[in-house]
A and B are shown apart, each in its own frame.
Chain A
Amino acid sequence: MDETSKNVPENDIKLPTGEKLVVSSSPHLSSPERTSKIMGRVLLALAFPAAAGIWYFGLRAAWVIFLTTVFCVAAEAVWCKLARKPVKATILDGSAAVTGVILALNLPPHVPFYVPLIGAVLAIWIGKQIFGGLGYNPFNPAVVARVGLLIALPAIMTTWPAPRGMNSGYPSFKEFKTSVDAVTCATPLSIAGTMPKSTDRYETSHFRKIDNVELIKKYALGCKGGCIGETCIPAIVFGAILLVCFNLINWRVPICYVGTVAIVTGVVNYFYPGVTPSPLFHLVTGGLMFAAVFMATDMVTCPITGTGCVIFAVGCGVITSVIRIWGNYPEGVSFAILFMNALVPLIDKASALRPFGHTAKPKEVAK
């Protein structure tokens, strides 16, 4: 060695041995983002409508949410065990819990225990795992389960207990623990669905009963019959803001979805007020807001590009409006989302991005 070694106290320098060197492709750094963190944040956003649902429908609603989530996670674990997939890693990604909570918030508050059980199996097995698990499912698992339950158990799925404080307008702490099973009510949408339709341009009176400023205020706050999570609009909006801030959903989806429904129902309502209630009524009733924020935006089953998301959301909005106005079912969001989910590969293809350096006209590049 030359003078270098004399100058530097060689023994004090700890040199690496290279035993633990890992060789991998670049990049060698990664963002702290993880699938489980994403799902955790979605759960956080879902806590708002869930809390509102529990507040309006009592502890029974909490029980349904708890049961559905546990069943979903259990269904996932059972499948992974049978399919010899890693159980713990799959559960810990949190996707089953998210599906469970979304499904629960789509159930009436008083359903018997077997409804969450069937729903969980439908969602996780039929909706997700048979396609290959998280990321491979073409349809939103929670929507698959909800539609399955709606068709299989129509009576249970369309019997709505009245929320606490239905008459007074605001629920109180006193009756929090009391069961609400006894009193049932109809959802504003189902009432509207049973009303006779009239194409008379000036006939509006019969919708007035359910579509007026006073009632819409009440509906918006959550004082109406409906699924656990869909009734309280402010809670859903809070959740939406959270999701957009966390960059977990594409803001175009809820905005375009809700906007399309408002425009379509608004146009129909303007020309034929006797056919359908006002757009405001459509926005605050039923599962539209919840679905637009939490179900249509599911990363796996909505298009990747911004343009694709707009097409997807507008499609959802049109189908929802058509079912609501002219269909047999009072509510159409689930069917709309399922239908548009099926079109996502096509939308993705149609809305593919223009890569950097590619002109609109495909230019022959130098060989």
Chain B
Amino acid sequence: MSTIVLVSVIVMGSLGLLLGLVIGFFAKIFKVETDSRVDLVAELLPGANCGGCGKAGCADFAKSVVSGENPPGKCPVSSAEQINAIAMALGIDAGGGFKKRAVVRCGGDIHQVARKINYNGVLDCASASLIAGGPKGCRYGCIGMGSCAAVCPFGAIELVNNLALVHPEICVGCGKCVSACPRGVIQLVPIESTVHVYCNSPEKGPEKRKNCKVSCLGCRKCEKTAPEKFKVEGFLAHVQYDAPVLPTEEDVEAVKCPTGALLTAARHKEIETNDPEFSVNE
């Protein structure tokens, strides 16, 4: 018995020693020189690997920051303090662009879209849009099957009454949802903006009206009230996000959008989440 124990201990011990030596040897001669600054930056980055910066992930972005390809501010997720910390650690300028947030430019939830279609098939926006133009009457609005919510790495998109709703406090503006949406309803807007036109349909007013109660009719009321903040292109109003002054709640009240397509984000969320039976007309 004792010999068995002894033999096993000796065999296992020497095996371990041998393998350890081998690993140590190879680690020494095949050592890959890494820039310690890359690790440092990677540590300071959020590690969400969202891809919002345009790189393959946080490690890749760290490399590009160290090489000077990208400024630290290009990370959409990190807060200003985190970016400053990276910039200070590397002794470079923080740089950075505008902080952005995604917004779903559609208010056509299940209660607002008039012609609902009984759709049967794959529950995926892109797949559904291939079948008879999608389940909702409007061909430009949110399909409401949550392909954007599925790709959001931060869980910032919620489906309420078959309408995607971005929670601005969670969204970091990585833009994954923008490319996932087959309709192009989602837009990245400056983080400070609070007022949006919740409609994406370029159709003529009456056509839209047939399909949706809360569509923008292109009446130009907003443009007349505050021409520097809103612009109507074709039959669809746009918030001028690059204007020096962004519209506020007061502007929304002044405009009194007849269909309620122009709303503050807070009010939009309130309508969708609190009052499912809410309808502008009734």
Contacts and interface: CB of A to CB of B under 8 A. Distances in A.
Answer whether A and B touch in the complex at a CB cut-off of 8 Å. yes
Interface of A: 20-25
Contacts of A22: 118-120
Contacts of B121: 24-25
A22 B135 CA distance: 10
B148 to A, nearest CB: 22
Nearest to B122: A25
Contacts of A20: 118
B120 to A, nearest CB: 4
A24 B119 CA distance: 6
Nearest to B127: A25
Interface of B: 117-122, 130-132, 135
A179 B117 CA distance: 64
17 contacts: A21-B117, A21-B118, A22-B118, A22-B119, A22-B120, A23-B118, A23-B119, A23-B120, A23-B131, A23-B132, A23-B135, A24-B120, A24-B121, A24-B131, A25-B121, A25-B122, A25-B130
Contacts of A23: 117-120, 131-132, 135
A25 B131 contact: yes
Contacts of A25: 121-122, 130-131
A21 to B, nearest CB: 7
A171 to B, nearest CB: 52
A20 B121 CA distance: 16
B126 to A, nearest CB: 13
A359 to B, nearest CB: 31
Contacts of B119: 22-24
Given A21-B117, A23-B119, 9 more contacts: A23-B117, A23-B120, A23-B131, A23-B135, A24-B119, A24-B121, A24-B131, A25-B122, A25-B131
A21 B130 CA distance: 17
Nearest to A23: B132
A23 B117 CA distance: 7
State the 6 A-B residue pairs at the shortest beta-carbon distance, nearest first.
A24-B120, A22-B118, A23-B132, A24-B121, A25-B131, A23-B117
A20 B117 CA distance: 8
Contacts of A24: 119-121, 131
A63 B130 CA distance: 53
A22 B117 CA distance: 7
A24 B130 CA distance: 10
A253 B119 CA distance: 41
Nearest to B135: A23
A20 B120 CA distance: 12
Contacts of B120: 22-24
A23 B118 CA distance: 6
Contacts of B130: 25
A20 B119 CA distance: 10
A21 B117 CA distance: 7
A23 B135 CA distance: 8
A21 B120 CA distance: 10
B122 to A, nearest CB: 8
